[in-house]
């Protein structure tokens, strides 16, 4: 096993273990089990349906992000589902790597365009989830203690939005500024920055259409709103409304964003528990909500992902060697 793989595995186990320790610390196992067993079936079914819905919405947004020319837009829902399934088992968000591979090998998009579409996805997700963090923090009295953290987050969101809007209004100006700034970098870093810039630009055609920008905004909101509704269903308390769900979803996304833990185990649980505790939710209930949120989503995505692996004729060997194949293609392209 490679040294980097060993380090990655060790880091993943450390983060997962630490997260689960915080998550289950001082838990009443008997009470936890009773609360889990008393969860109504409609709650589990509702979370499962919303999980599938948010993946479908992601595929619609991905279709809009990808340029109209240069490749095939079919099969995106299956690719997204398989990608999230891969993330359930492998660390470092390797599901995104597999999605890039599918777009390149099966849909004939270039590796640069494929990778750039995932980057744009992540930028849009960051903007939305960070917004879902600072808006409730400013609006709800019980979350005012998080305002010192919410203000810099709001500034970061504003900076990302200003960057996107500026590019949509004056793309040549942005490219000129980026080119001048990159001249002060080392040759290797400059090449990397230019490559990432090209990847991003190749997926920003939608930014020049006000109608498409509105659709993109709506889809990005609905993708995250599905998770908010999941939180509201699982908590099932009058005082826990949409703003509370926004805040909890943002914390869950933070835990899922940590790349080393396979299946988001530990990191998602600990982060979501903290988000719920800050919302005034009882510790035992917070553990139940986080457990159900992760478990139902995990099982739903895994089952749906396996279905698409079979129906789309994708082999696990192909997924396992995605990173190596993409590196070879990038090397040959250079």
Per-residue pLDDT of 154-206, as tens digits, reads 888 899 899 889 988 888 888 888 888 777 778 778 878 778 888 888 899 99
Give, in order, the Cα–Cα distances in Å from 203 to each of 32, 190, 198: 46, 20, 9
Tell me what the pLDDT averaged over the chain comes to.
Answer: 87
113, 99 in Cβ contact below 8 A?
Answer: no
Kindly indicate the confidence band of residue 151, based on its pLDDT and cuts at 50, 70 and 90: confident
Kindly indicate the confidence band of residue 85, based on its pLDDT and cuts at 50, 70 and 90: very high
Lowest-confidence segment of 82-86, 140-144, 176-180, 221-225 by average pLDDT: 176-180
Per-residue pLDDT of 254-311, as tens digits, reads 988 877 677 788 889 889 999 999 999 988 899 999 999 999 999 999 999 999 999 9
Identify the burial level of 231 via C-beta atoms within 10 angstroms of its C-beta, where 0-12 means exposed, 13-18 middle and 19 or more buried. buried
Handedness of CA 79, 80, 85, 90 (dihedral sign): positive
Size (the chain), residues = 334
d(CA 295, CA 256): 13
Q: What is the pTM of this model?
A: 0.90
Is 239's pLDDT higher than 70? yes
Kindly indicate the confidence band of residue 332, based on its pLDDT and cuts at 50, 70 and 90: low
d(CA 179, CA 190): 9
Q: Left, alpha or beta for 183 (phi > 0: left; psi -120 to 50: alpha)?
A: alpha
Residue 209: which of 173, 169, 159 has the closest Cα?
169
Per-residue pLDDT of 36-51, as tens digits, reads 888 899 999 999 999 9
Per-residue pLDDT at 8:
60
Kindly indicate the confidence band of residue 11, based on its pLDDT and cuts at 50, 70 and 90: low
Kindly indicate the confidence band of residue 80, based on its pLDDT and cuts at 50, 70 and 90: very high
How big is the chain by its Cα radius of gyration, in Å?
Answer: 21
More confidently predicted of 96 and 327? 96
Is 7's pLDDT higher than 70? no
Kindly indicate the confidence band of residue 9, based on its pLDDT and cuts at 50, 70 and 90: low
More confidently predicted of 180 and 240? 240
d(CA 270, CA 20): 7
Handedness of CA 77, 80, 83, 88 (dihedral sign): negative
d(CA 193, CA 10): 30
Per-residue pLDDT at 6:
55
Per-residue pLDDT of 53-68, as tens digits, reads 999 999 999 999 999 8
Is 5's pLDDT higher than 70? no
275, 247 in Cβ contact below 8 A?
Answer: yes
Residue 269: which of 96, 157, 77, 283 has the closest Cα?
283
Per-residue pLDDT at 100:
92
Per-residue pLDDT at 216:
96
Handedness of CA 93, 223, 112, 189 (dihedral sign): negative
Is 117's pLDDT higher than 90? yes
């Amino acid at each position: 096993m490679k040294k980097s793989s060993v380090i990655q595995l060790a880091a993943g186990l450390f983060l997962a273990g630490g997260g689960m320790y915080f998550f289950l610390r001082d838990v009443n196992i008997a009470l936890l089990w009773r609360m889990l067993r008393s969860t109504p079936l409609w709650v589990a079914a509702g979370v499962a349906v919303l999980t599938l819905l948010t993946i479908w919405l992601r595929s619609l947004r991905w279709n809009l992000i990808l340029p109209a020319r240069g490749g095939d837009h079919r099969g995106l829902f299956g690719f997204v589902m398989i990608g999230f399934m891969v993330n359930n088992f492998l660390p470092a968000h390797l599901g995104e790597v597999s999605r890039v591979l599918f777009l390149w090998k099966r849909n004939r998009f270039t590796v640069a365009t494929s990778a750039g579409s995932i980057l744009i996805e992540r930028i849009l997700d960051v903007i939305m989830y960070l917004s879902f963090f600072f808006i409730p923090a400013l609006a709800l009295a019980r979350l005012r203690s998080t305002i010192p953290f919410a203000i810099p987050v709001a500034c970061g969101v504003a900076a990302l939005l200003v960057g996107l809007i500026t590019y949509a209004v004056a793309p040549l100006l942005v490219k000129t500024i980026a080119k001048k700034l990159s001249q002060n970098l080392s040759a290797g870093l400059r090449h990397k920055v230019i490559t990432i810039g090209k990847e991003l630009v190749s997926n920003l055609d939608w930014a020049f259409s006000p109608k498409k920008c509105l659709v993109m905004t709506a889809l990005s909101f609905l993708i995250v709103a599905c998770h908010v509704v999941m939180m509201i269903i699982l908590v099932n308390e009058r005082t826990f409304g949409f703003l509370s769900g926004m805040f909890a979803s943002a914390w869950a996304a933070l835990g899922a964003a940590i790349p080393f833990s396979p299946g988001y185990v530990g990191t998602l649980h600990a982060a979501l528990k903290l988000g719920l505790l800050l919302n005034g939710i009882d510790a035992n209930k917070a553990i139940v909500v986080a457990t159900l949120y992760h478990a139902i989503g995990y099982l739903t995505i895994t089952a749906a992902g396996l279905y698409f692996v079979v129906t789309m004729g994708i082999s696990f060997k192909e997924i396992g060697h995605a990173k190596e194949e993409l590196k070879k293609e990038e090397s040959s392209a250079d």
